[in-house]
Amino acid sequence: MARTDRLMRLMNSLRRLPAPVTAARLAQETGVSPRQLYRDIATLRAGGALIDGEAGLGYSLTEDPALPPQSFSQLEIEALHLAVQALGRIGDDELTDAGKAALARIIATLPERQSRQALHAIMHSFSTQPDRDPPRIDLPLLREACWNEQAIEIDYTDLHGAATRRVIWPLGLSYSERTLMLLAHCRLRMDHRIFHINRIDAMRLTGDSFRPHRVALVRDYMRTRRSHRTAPAPDDVTQPQG
């Protein structure tokens, strides 16, 4: 994990967990050794974070009182809760944790009355769909490939059991209750394709970049969708063509 991401995760853990939080718990949350955890706390303090406590006693974060408190309506707070709950059903644990961390950061800046409302939300989200099979590939690595415009090679099995290996340019992810899909530009077919994530058996970075083509390719795909004025046909969604 990158140093900046690790420090951000530590700050989020301090915001989210009941204080005081032991060093062992924080080390577990951030995936580092206790010794590294102490160094990270020292780094955050040097950067201006108000962290009280010490080894053996636990730590607590005091938000900067100079920052103005955020203000949300009660309905906005409920909407945020619903969004985070919905994230928990898409089968992407890292994205779900990111949503929870973001909500915790927001709650930490709320006035006391709104903070209490946030802890006792009345709206809840549930699904009647069965749980999805977990993906067989590294979703964080796939997201990084999309963000950094890195080509990947995938082993893919379609709806009929036909297996192919192809190089693709990953453009974006689409989440729904039923499935997680990848929009990509297939170098084998030289066209846009939609792949079901749970049918990707393996994925590898090729080391090649397709920057700066991602934005243009996504726009081209959206123009094609709008020109047809309809969603892709079921066969287009369930398997790549060709």
Model confidence at 97: pLDDT above 50? yes
Residue 208 falls within a domain, yes or no?
Answer: yes
- How does DSSP assign 138-168, residue by residue? -HHHHHHHHHHTEEEEEEEE-TTS-EEEEEE
* 42 and 99 both lie in a single domain: no
More confident residue, 134 or 29: 29
Could you list the residue range(s) of the whole structural domain that residue 58 is in? 3-62
Bridge partner list, 168: 152, 186
CATH number of the domain to which 182 belongs: 2.30.30
What is the mean predicted confidence (pLDDT) over 131-154? 87
Contact status, residue 166 vs residue 154, Cβ threshold 8 Å: yes
112 confidence band (pLDDT: 50, 70, 90): confident
Helix 3-16 × helix 34-46 angle, to 10°: 90
- pLDDT of 69: 54
Length of the chain, in residues: 242
CATH number of the domain to which 51 belongs: 1.10.10.10
* 80 and 57 both lie in a single domain: no
- pLDDT of 229: 58
Residue 231 falls within a domain, yes or no?
Answer: yes
* 108 and 176 both lie in a single domain: no
200 confidence band (pLDDT: 50, 70, 90): very high
Cis check for the bond before 68: say yes or no (omega within 30 of 0).
no
How many structural domains does the chain have? 3
* 182 and 224 both lie in a single domain: yes
In tens, the pLDDT along 47-70 reads 888 888 877 788 988 765 544 555
CA 174 to chain CA centroid, nearest Å: 12
Residue 126 falls within a domain, yes or no?
Answer: no
More confident residue, 32 or 121: 32
Contact status, residue 214 vs residue 149, Cβ threshold 8 Å: yes
- The structure tokens listed for 56 are 């053996």
* 89 and 145 both lie in a single domain: no
Residue 128 falls within a domain, yes or no?
Answer: no
Residue 134 falls within a domain, yes or no?
Answer: no
- pLDDT of 165: 94
- pLDDT of 126: 64
Residue 32 falls within a domain, yes or no?
Answer: yes
Out of 34-38, 73-77, 93-97, least confident range? 73-77
Residue 125 falls within a domain, yes or no?
Answer: no
More confident residue, 147 or 4: 147
Share of the chain above pLDDT 90, in %: 24
What is the mean predicted confidence (pLDDT) over 99-121? 78
* 105 and 148 both lie in a single domain: no
16 confidence band (pLDDT: 50, 70, 90): confident
Residue 69 falls within a domain, yes or no?
Answer: no
Q: Which range, 17-21, 157-161, 175-179, has the best average confidence (pLDDT)?
A: 157-161
* 101 and 159 both lie in a single domain: no
What is the mean predicted confidence (pLDDT) over 206-219? 89
Task: Using the 3D structure, point to which of 52, 87, 119 is the last residue of a domain.
Answer: 119
In tens, the pLDDT along 35-47 reads 999 999 999 888 8
* 15 and 51 both lie in a single domain: yes
